[in-house]
Structure 1
């Protein structure tokens, strides 16, 4: 069994780290808010006093945090992961960050004789709990092969994409499609509602039609009930789209549909919905259309 460190115990990190504990691994965890570690510790993990301590006591160090600045803080700052690294250790970052943010972390990790695997995920909190995530990975192939058994504990679909920042780019590209899908579905649902159709039936038909997707299925009940608990918040989706725009600028790609969706998310945030699930775009459009359920 492996000695694993895990940093970041939010909606995704908590169930993912628990799956490693359940698989019998020795897991040490750290989170900025210690109380968020209670559930994982109760499952059998131990607490580390700092990212530095977690790295020093682990062979594999996972990070799953909200954004690039947070990743840099836990990786490069005071009492950080890099300070606890030694040659041969492997850092696996599963956060959604930009290629430029990732490159800075990679340089620091490799300066200690360690390796970085980029491993952002696709899937919901439910899939995180059920070990059903998709994992997009890039970095040194031999290092990836060492990490793969741990990835297989966390998710059912594994994709090795290349030796550099390829996983970062594809993760951002996928999130632009996820966000835009919810914008298009919002338009279809509100048009149908205003014409007198039942929202639950509309969502069911969409999910089972040619335009349906697993995402439409996941969000069917959320939109039908109109209760948008944050599986993936508006705030985080805006962050990801902004990172996608940076990448698009780097590679010279216009992203017209993504830009429209980003404006709708901004409207959601401006009306007090920044912490709601991003599927709240349906409610935003209902309001803009003067429709009340």
Structure 2
């Protein structure tokens, strides 16, 4: 893998692409807002004018985009990835999308003579910066093997999960559980404090027992302070819950807890919190 492309330089993409540049890869970047390319160019990346240019010039192009609509647009527009892919070059979509979206992109890339791998990530801003994401890859095995050296600079674990769609489904399961845990956590903190318990003591007790986990440890102080600097935007969590519930509908799987959590996140969006960290769902409960 000589040349790497990277499409999408939001909170996650900026950190992930930076790790690739710092690791010595030859990286070409593109973002809808070109100004976001500047920090990467300062590190040594090259800026492209379009997704087509990235896909045409790079051996493997990575993308991490906001939602299914953005993932499709970057692929299918006139100057999109599909217009530049071919000759066995690889496209790795690390966006969190539903399996149908992933499959439609895979089919198009393969038909154009490229190779496709889905690789959504589990983790937020800090793991992206630290290169400790969990990368959930599925699709073309040869492309997976080729992408592993880059994955190892972005994540700490990159299992191969099989055919296209399995990575997308695994990511929705992970984020569905995370969203449900966050709403239960917020309800517990709200109940405890309103009953006269001290917030920091609640956290201390939780972190000393079977409920201890990095999310509670990281988000708890944020919730108690009432400040929600964005690590994982609330709007993306609500999107992931919606996609997980849709998958449950397809499979006839009841998801009562996830559905309830989704309503809390929808309410948070109505309150104007969609750009805040997803822990701001506390404001719908407090």
Whole-Å separation in 2 of the counterparts to 1:194 and 1:40: 47
Whole-Å separation in 1 of the counterparts to 2:266 and 2:29: 34
* Deviation, structure 1 residue 221: 2.5
| Secondary structure of the structure 2 residue equivalent to 1:6 | strand
1:96-117 deviation digits (Å, cap 9, x = unpaired)? 0011111110011001211111
Aligned to 1:78: 78
1:61-87 deviation digits (Å, cap 9, x = unpaired)? 001000111111111111011111122
1:103-151 deviation digits (Å, cap 9, x = unpaired)? 1100110012111111000112101001011111101222211111111
Gap runs ≥5 in structure 1: 287-293
CA-atom RMSD in angstroms: 1.2
Report if the CA contact (8 A) 1:204-1:220 is conserved: no
* Deviation, structure 1 residue 218: 2.2
Aligned to 1:164: 164
Alignment of 1:6-45 (within 5 A): 6-45=6-45
Report if the CA contact (8 A) 1:119-1:137 is conserved: yes
| Secondary structure of the structure 2 residue equivalent to 1:159 | coil
Aligned to 2:50: 50
| Secondary structure of the structure 1 residue equivalent to 2:159 | strand
* Deviation, structure 1 residue 213: 1.5
Whole-Å separation in 2 of the counterparts to 1:246 and 1:274: 20
Q: Which moved further from structure 2: 212-221 or 25-34? A: 212-221
Q: Which moved further from structure 2: 244-253 or 203-212? A: 203-212
* Deviation, structure 1 residue 178: 0.5
* Deviation, structure 1 residue 25: 0.7
Report if the CA contact (8 A) 1:203-1:224 is conserved: no
Whole-Å separation in 2 of the counterparts to 1:186 and 1:148: 37
Aligned to 1:195: 195
Q: Which moved further from structure 2: 203-212 or 275-284? A: 203-212
Report if the CA contact (8 A) 2:106-2:164 is conserved: no
1:261-282 deviation digits (Å, cap 9, x = unpaired)? 0111122112222221111122
Aligned to 1:5: 5
1:145 aligns with 2:145: yes
Aligned to 1:60: 60
Report if the CA contact (8 A) 2:7-2:64 is conserved: yes
Whole-Å separation in 2 of the counterparts to 1:66 and 1:238: 12
| Secondary structure of the structure 2 residue equivalent to 1:163 | coil
Q: How many residues align?
A: 286
Report if the CA contact (8 A) 1:207-1:220 is conserved: no
| Secondary structure of the structure 2 residue equivalent to 1:176 | helix
1:259 aligns with 2:265: no
1:237-257 deviation digits (Å, cap 9, x = unpaired)? 111111111211121111000
1:109 aligns with 2:109: yes
Aligned to 1:132: 132
